[in-house]
């Protein structure tokens, strides 16, 4: 999937920036959960208007893919759009059409779930295409876990990844919090990462969708 800010074909093994920030991470992992959004941003010239809404859960890489989009298209980004003044969004939408410069508005959800009071803005957003990043699928969950462990130099064996996949919530935030908890446990106990250690570290957290076995 060609969405990389240096113009090269995008790899399938790079993920959103999480910990620590690394300027070399300029790629966005594409899986079935987000491929439609990536496809839409990559083909911005076909949008019915020069503005698009990018919506999805936090920590899903939406800011990263937005930066890649801006680098490729020369377009503008408004992050956390739902928190911005409506007049600002209205004028930015109009300016994008007048200048023929694409604009990407990033938010958690799209209207009407995100309430808009200004009628003129509401009508414009209703005509704006939406690129949605969904919850991570199994393939993306595995890749996220592998990448997060690698970023912390933790040796997570395949059997541990399988154990976690069967037990943690399917969300980008859960992956990050789970790896954070295990990283802390490894540092405090000075033990190798393992299923028993993970069972102990995560037993009292709200990260597990099913309780760990005794």
- Cα 155 → chain centroid: 24
Round to whole Å and give the CA distance between 9 and 205. Answer: 40
| 144, part of any domain | yes
pLDDT digit string, tens, across residues 135-147: 999 999 999 999 8
pLDDT of residue 213: 60
Strand order of the sheet with strand 76-78? 76-78, 103-107, 51-55, 130-132
Q: Report residue 100: phi and psi, to 5°.
A: 55, 40
Q: Which residues of 25-45 are buried (b: 16+ CB within 10 A; e: fewer)?
A: bbbbbbbebbeebbebbbebe
Q: Dig out the tokens for 188 from the structure.
A: 């405090």
The last residue of one of the domains, among 116, 132, 148, is 132
Are residue 101 and residue 116 in the same domain, yes or no? Answer: yes
Parent domain of 190: 138-202
| 195, part of any domain | yes
Are residue 116 and residue 143 in the same domain, yes or no? Answer: no
Are residue 57 and residue 121 in the same domain, yes or no? Answer: yes
Are residue 44 and residue 117 in the same domain, yes or no? Answer: yes
The last residue of one of the domains, among 103, 132, 161, is 132
Are residue 51 and residue 127 in the same domain, yes or no? Answer: yes
**Count of domains observed in the chain:** 2
pLDDT digit string, tens, across residues 94-104: 999 999 999 99
Strands 51-55 and 130-132: parallel
| 113, part of any domain | yes
Are residue 114 and residue 148 in the same domain, yes or no? Answer: no
Are residue 44 and residue 128 in the same domain, yes or no? Answer: yes
Helix (H) or strand (E) holding 121: helix 119-126
Are residue 59 and residue 122 in the same domain, yes or no? Answer: yes
- pLDDT confidence bin for 52, thresholds 50/70/90: very high
Is the pLDDT at 212 greater than 80? The verdict is no
| 11, part of any domain | no
pLDDT digit string, tens, across residues 108-166: 999 999 999 999 999 999 999 999 999 999 999 999 999 899 989 999 999 999 999 99
Are residue 127 and residue 48 in the same domain, yes or no? Answer: yes
Q: CATH number, domain at 76? A: 3.40.50.300
pLDDT of residue 193: 93
CA dihedral over 125, 58, 156, 202, signed as positive or negative: negative
Round to whole Å and give the CA distance between 92 and 179. Answer: 39
The secondary structure of residue 114, as a DSSP letter, is: S
């Amino acid at each position: 999937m060609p969405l990389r800010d240096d113009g090269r074909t995008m790899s399938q093994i790079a993920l959103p920036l999480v910990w620590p920030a690394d300027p070399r991470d300029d790629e966005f992992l594409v899986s079935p959960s987000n491929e439609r959004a990536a496809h839409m941003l990559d083909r911005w010239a076909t949008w019915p208007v020069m503005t698009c809404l990018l919506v999805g859960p936090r920590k899903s890489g939406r800011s990263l893919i937005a930066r890649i989009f801006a680098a490729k298209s020369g377009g503008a980004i408004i992050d956390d759009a739902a928190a911005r003044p409506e007049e600002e969004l209205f004028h930015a939408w109009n300016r994008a059409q007048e200048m023929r410069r694409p604009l990407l508005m990033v938010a958690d959800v799209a209207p009407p779930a995100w309430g808009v009071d200004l009628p003129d803005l509401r009508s414009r957003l209703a005509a704006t295409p939406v690129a949605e990043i969904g919850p991570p699928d199994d393939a993306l969950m595995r890749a996220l876990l592998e990448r997060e462990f690698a970023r912390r130099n933790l040796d997570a064996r395949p059997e541990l990844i399988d154990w976690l996949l069967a037990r943690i919530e399917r969300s980008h935030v859960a992956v990050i919090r789970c790896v954070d908890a295990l990283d802390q446990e490894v540092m405090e106990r000075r033990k190798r990462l393992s299923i028993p250690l993970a069972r102990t570290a995560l037993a009292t957290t709200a990260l597990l969708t099913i309780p760990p076995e005794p």
